[in-house]
Amino acid sequence: MFAQKCIFRLLEHCPCRHVLRVRNVHVSVIGAGNDVGLNLGLLLKTNQKVTRLHLYDEDDKIYGVGCELNNIPGGPVVESFSGDRQLALGLRDADLVALVARTPRKLATTPHQMIIENAPAIQKVCRSIANHNPEALFAISTDPINCIVPFASALLSTYNCYNPFKVFGITHIDTARSRAFAGKMLDVDPETIRVPVVGGHSDKTIVPLFSNLEPSCYCISSEQADMLTRFVRTADRDVILNKRGTESATLAMAWSIHEFIDSIADAINGKEVIVNTYSPNLTFGTRYFSGPVKVGAGGIVESLCDYRMSELERQLLREALPLIHEDVSKGEEYAGVVKTLGRYYT
């Protein structure tokens, strides 16, 4: 007992005692009943940085999901919510709202169709965030991200709660795949390497910067980089084909979203972290751009775009920029249509 009192007294006078005070991280997952959300929920249940986990889905089976996750010892306390009236409860007080609701991508689905199909869920969540939790960090994984993030940002602006530093389009899957493919080619552990990915988040706008592979002791030739870039860009299509066209990537997507949230949890606790995200960025003239950003407790601190590129990467980026600009315009224009017509949820 005496020893414990001595330790407590030492901690009280320790100049670094604030480091020991870890803020509880509250995460809300919207669309938690789909395949991505279910796997993400399981991963978050095992994350010791998360102390409260809210799962929302329009399908009331989410109550069973929450019940089952609470049977797992340890991790955050899980609460489930369903129906329009409970959306506010599902995201209220959350430090991070992660939107994974989506219509699954299929081979024949066009980006325009995906916007139309996913827009109602986006608008409903944006309105609820504006009304009930405007200070939350808002991370979106709903496709097509190139269009949906500008669409959501325009809606949040209409609802007078838009903060460009707190809205993220989760593109962590692109760097996860780049690391996986590069690690396999180099025969090294992919968790020990980093590959920045810039551009957008679609087949023709993803630009992995294999010339900036870290650690710098590893080297990938231009021919290898060209091949790996094709692998990364077609990875989602390959998954759909191998799943017989019934669904898109779910396991890798959930894993990469969890890796993103795990890093954001550190940021919420006061540590600056680097994540890959599609966010407001005027560097290349497209208004939105995907790439590594530095994030702190209040959101995005700095975009990290100062990379030396190979000729292949510069050419790929030149080809991608007009497509990204077009996607951004589509998202913002569709937000204007929704606002004018008063569609979906008001």
Catalogue all structural domains in the chain, each as residue range(s) with its CATH number: 24-171+328-341 (3.40.50.720), 172-325 (3.90.110.10)
Give the separation between CA 162 and CA 155, rounded to whole angstroms.
8
pLDDT of res. 105:
66
> Is 109's pLDDT higher than 80?
no
Residues in the chain: 346
pLDDT tens digits, residue range 264-299? 999 999 999 999 999 999 889 899 999 999 999 999
**DSSP label of 205:** T
Q: Are strands 77-82 and 288-296 parallel, antiparallel or unpaired?
A: unpaired
Q: What angle do CA 276, 291, 37 make, to 5 degrees?
A: 35
Catalytic residue among 54, 172, 201, 258: 201
Verify whether residue 201 is a known catalytic residue: yes
> Is 3's pLDDT higher than 50?
no
Record the pTM: 0.90
